[in-house]
Amino acid sequence: MRFKPNYAPGPTEVRENVRLARTKRTNNTDFDREFVHYYHEVCQKMGQIMGTKNDVLLLAGEGILALEAACASLTEPGDRVLVLDNGIYGEGFKDFVSIYGGEPVVLSFDHHKGIPVEEVREYLKMDHDFKYATFVHCDTPTSVLNAATELSPLLKEYGILTVVDSVAGMVGEPIAVDQNQIDICCGGTQKAISAPVGLAIVSISEDAKKAMDNRKTPITSFYANLQIFKGYAEKEYLPYTMPASDVEALDVALDNILEEGQEAVYKRHDKIASAVRKSVQAYGLTLFLESERSNTVTAIVIPEEIGALRLQEHISETYNLLIATSLAQYADVILRIGHMGENAFVDKVVFVLTIIDNGLRDLGFKGNGNLAQLFLDAYKEK
Ligand SMILES: *Cc1c(COP(=O)(O)O)cnc(C)c1O
């Protein structure tokens, strides 16, 4: 297969030292007890980066498995679950709740901004009989960033557990799991962590563990059952064969982050994202969001007469570059630039903006100036 550079909001570019880590010889993870300890250490390193002392597990599967496993493990038939929806993934949680027999109560908000915390507060005064609630940290298809700092503690006031999808948020945006009292925080390796696709990440609070222990009915899954890992470190035994190369790669990717420093990584994302947003607007395009924009991805509205899908196709064919449109009802409306993890560097953004600028001009759009130069000007100012 021919290689195509890609600037979608994940999977992101993987640094060479991470790619090389996958080529190392690995031990048999079923019989090598040392591997169990190594796995545990990488889980703890992941927890450090997520800001939690809670148990962290790496599941063999990509990010979606984390969301499904959280819902499978918490939901019992008839459980009411509050699904906070202001985006495609936000709404999508209702399906996982239903699959496992729960009753999702979907509270929908405008997709053009963050979940309004005050409206949730008012709603909870009337109805708070929920086992848990779900929301997305960064809902990637529209790039909205929700206030985990306020939402989880608010839900916790009512004893409602929280499941937060931070697959496209963590590392690019602070998530601070313990400080924000998030019960199950979900992640994936292929977004801002910039490791290959392959592992799902979950952190599990004591309250979430209690909820699983106190179930009256068994969890109706094996692979999505978080309890199969219970006591694995003491037993020195993992419930299924782990993709050891993925764990090695994640380990190195996490070291890259720690070496740069987490605050520096956040700053890098902020600086790049701010300059992208500024340049896109100066160029004459509109951002999809009114406010609460994530620093990991930018969603740009493509004029109807051009169409996001036609632009994507044109850029892929003419310039051999993969750029992302969006999902569902936004597929032909939004163009997304993923500037997270290894893709949040000036050279990469200049490259992708140059090609987008050319692609748009080829299709008849008249931008105000040179998009990449506008980006560099804004970047220098900040
Ligand atoms: C990428 C992503 C996931 C993982 O799912 P994919 O299969 O990669 O789409 C889950 N949640 C969010 C918000 C994501 O951006």
| 132-153 average pLDDT score | 98
Provide the 3-class DSSP secondary structure of residue 170.
strand
67 alpha carbon – ligand 1 mean position (Å): 9
pLDDT at 4: 85
Handedness of CA 242, 255, 253, 206 (dihedral sign): positive
Measured by CA distance, the residue closest to atom 7 of ligand 1 is 64
Average pLDDT, rounded, for the chain: 97
321: left (phi over 0), alpha (psi -120 to 50) or beta: beta
pLDDT at 18: 98
pLDDT at 148: 98
16-259 belongs to CATH 3.40.640.10:
yes
| Pairing relationship of beta strands 103-108 and 80-85 according to DSSP bridges | parallel
pLDDT tens digit sequence for 149-167: 999 999 999 999 999 999 9
**Residue 326 pLDDT class (50, 70, 90 cuts):** very high
pLDDT tens digit sequence for 286-323: 999 999 999 999 999 999 999 999 999 999 999 999 99
Which atom of ligand 1 is closest in space to residue 166's alpha carbon? 13
Kindly state if the Cβ of 10 falls inside 6 Å of ligand 1: yes
Do the Cβ atoms of 135 and 151 come closer than 8 Å? yes
pLDDT tens digit sequence for 154-202: 999 999 999 999 999 999 999 999 999 999 999 999 999 999 999 999 9
CB hemisphere CA count around 62 (13 angstroms):
11
Is the model's pLDDT at 3 over the cut of 90? Answer: no
248 alpha carbon – ligand 1 mean position (Å): 22
Is the model's pLDDT at 382 over the cut of 80? Answer: no
Kindly state if the Cβ of 192 falls inside 6 Å of ligand 1: no
Is 336 annotated as ligand-binding? yes
Is the model's pLDDT at 6 over the cut of 90? Answer: no
Residue 301: both structure tokens together: 């509205």
pLDDT tens digit sequence for 90-113: 999 999 999 999 999 999 999 999
Residue entry with tokens 């190369």: 245
Is the model's pLDDT at 44 over the cut of 80? Answer: yes
Kindly state if the Cβ of 188 falls inside 6 Å of ligand 1: yes
Q: What percent of the chain has pLDDT over 70?
A: 100
Which atom of ligand 1 is closest in space to residue 168's alpha carbon? 15
Do the Cβ atoms of 142 and 92 come closer than 8 Å? no
Q: DSSP states of 200-262 as a string?
A: EEEEE-HHHHHHHHT-SS--S-STT-GGGGTTHHHHT--SS---HHHHHHHHHHHHHHHHH-H
Measured by CA distance, the residue closest to atom 4 of ligand 1 is 63
pLDDT at 180: 98
**Residue 20 pLDDT class (50, 70, 90 cuts):** very high
62 alpha carbon – ligand 1 mean position (Å): 8
pLDDT at 371: 98
Which atom of ligand 1 is closest in space to residue 87's alpha carbon? 13
pLDDT at 5: 84
Alpha-carbon separation of residue 54 from 175, 201, 227, 338, 364 (angstroms):
14, 12, 14, 29, 53
Kindly state if the Cβ of 173 falls inside 6 Å of ligand 1: no
Kindly state if the Cβ of 167 falls inside 6 Å of ligand 1: yes
Q: What percent of the chain has pLDDT over 90?
A: 97
Ligand 1: residue of 111, 136, 140 to mutate (most ligand atoms within 8 A of CB) is 140
Kindly list the domain boundaries of the chain, sorted by start residue. Answer: 16-259, 261-381
| 115-138 average pLDDT score | 98
Kindly state if the Cβ of 140 falls inside 6 Å of ligand 1: yes
pLDDT at 325: 97
CATH of domain 261-381: 3.90.1150.10
